[in-house]
Structure 1
Amino acid sequence: MPEGLTAGKDAYPGSAGPMIFKPDDRETPSCVAGTFGLLPVWAKVRAFAKRTYNARTETAAEKPSFRNAWHKGHLCIVPANAIYEPCYETGKAVWWRIERADGLPMALAGLWERKQWGDDGPSWSFTMLTVNADTHPVMRRFHKPQDEKRTVVVLDGSQIDAWLGASSEADMRALLRPCADDLLVAEAGRL
């Protein structure tokens, strides 16, 4: 477990969470604690992470907050037991827990950056990549009715190594899609 993390603790935008990446000089992935929310090198305050915890795959290459990490191929996996999203089917926001149907941890596709801050907080930061979920049977149920339906990219099996080893934008984009329809389950009010 990376220093600064506690087993079973939830991560929120701006807090510390684990990320897995492949250092340039090694084949074996490493796990470090990073700020949940990408902090580009030009960010002045850590609170910026509360605006950059998700990155739309369609615009990550162009958006100032994400383009450096995208173009440098700073790819990571964000491990998670579950994610939480609001469902408005009752007419009000009800938070739902979403997890893998088989109970295994999720491997979420992400981007990372590293910046020295001059304090004892993590120098690493990360974001989760998202795609359209209009047709995904589980993920299309979340967010406000008028909002576009989005999902994090949940990688499975060989997709995990393929993501960490992607060497071109084409390789990256080939993996950025909603997960298999039956991979996820959701339950209301279970936080």
Structure 2
Amino acid sequence: MCSHYEGVRNRERFLKHFRAEPPADMGKLDVWPGYEACFIRRHEHADVGDDAVPEREVMLGRYGLIAPWVKELKVVRNTYNARIETVATKPTFRSAWHKAQHCIVPADAFYEPDYRLNPTRSVPAKIGRADESPMGIAGLWESWIAPDGRKILSITMLTINADDHPLMKNFHKPSDEKRMVVILPEEKYEAWLSASAEESLDFCMPYPAEKMVATSDVSPGSLL
């Protein structure tokens, strides 16, 4: 499960890759649960037929989904990832899933614990695309009204099983199930943002291992 990732730091690179203008304040770029960071969603007025309205908008949201019925922000410590096997039924995620509140989380890299050097103590492995392009990670967004009346947006990343993935099976504790975030091919960004709830699972596929690279203190360079 991904609790730590790096946002896309270069504004021009962000705009070119995602075809969406990041805000002046891009939030945190070294992101942990509860931090505010950029995410991309379909513009809320994209269907009005106005050419001046962009298809995509970049928003700031807390990393960790906050369901509308939640009372406290601290839930983000446990809601930063959503398993596709249970996302449709878990109370925290099911509303955003069934409403198809899809988003893309832009990232230069994410981190997973590597226990291969020592089975009782991990080192962080930094994982990104082999071609060094940004990653667009499939997620869900939600809107929450805080007790003081503030509207707070939040996000979660979708994860799938990775027990058989040539790269991602190497991370997490040896006894744990292996998981990985859903990395979208860039040609599917628009389709994901506009997909219906019924189509959502079609996008939840493992990203090819040969298109990824990981570095850690165990073995610098590719761990494939």
Tell which deviates more after alignment, 145-154 or 108-117: 108-117
2:208 is matched with 180
Preserved CA contact (<8 Å) 2:136 2:186: no
Could you list the per-position Cα deviations for residues 55-111 of structure 1 after superposition, in whole angstroms to 9, with x for gaps in the alignment? 000100000010000000000000001000001111220101001101111000000
Preserved CA contact (<8 Å) 1:3 1:33: no
2:128 is matched with 99
1:87 is matched with 114
Q: Given the two structures, how large is their TM-score scaled by the length of structure 2?
A: 0.79
TM-superposed CA distance for 1:183, in Å, is: 1.7
1:160 is matched with 189
Preserved CA contact (<8 Å) 1:14 1:49: yes
Identity %: 43
TM-superposed CA distance for 1:121, in Å, is: 7.2
Q: Which of residues 60, 75, 82 is equivalent to 1:33?
A: 60
TM-superposed CA distance for 1:2, in Å, is: 3.0
- Distance across 2 between alignment mates of 1:98 and 1:129: 16
Q: Which of residues 18, 23, 26 is equivalent to 1:2?
A: 23
- Distance across 2 between alignment mates of 1:122 and 1:155: 28
Preserved CA contact (<8 Å) 1:34 1:122: no
1:123 is matched with 152
- Ranges of 4+ aligned residues in structure 1 off by more than 2 Å: 1-7, 118-122
Could you list the per-position Cα deviations for residues 21-40 of structure 1 after superposition, in whole angstroms to 9, with x for gaps in the alignment? 01342151110010000000
2:137 is matched with 108
Structure 1 or 2, whichever has the larger Rg, is: 2
RMSD between aligned residues: 1.9
Answering whether residue 39 of structure 2 is matched by residue 19 of structure 1, we say yes
Contiguous gaps of at least 5 residues in structure 1? none
Q: Which amino acid aligns with 2:144?
A: K
Contiguous gaps of at least 5 residues in structure 2? 1-21, 48-54
Q: Which amino acid aligns with 1:88?
A: Y
Preserved CA contact (<8 Å) 1:134 1:149: yes
TM-superposed CA distance for 1:130, in Å, is: 0.1
- Distance across 2 between alignment mates of 1:89 and 1:179: 22
Q: Which amino acid aligns with 2:158?
A: L
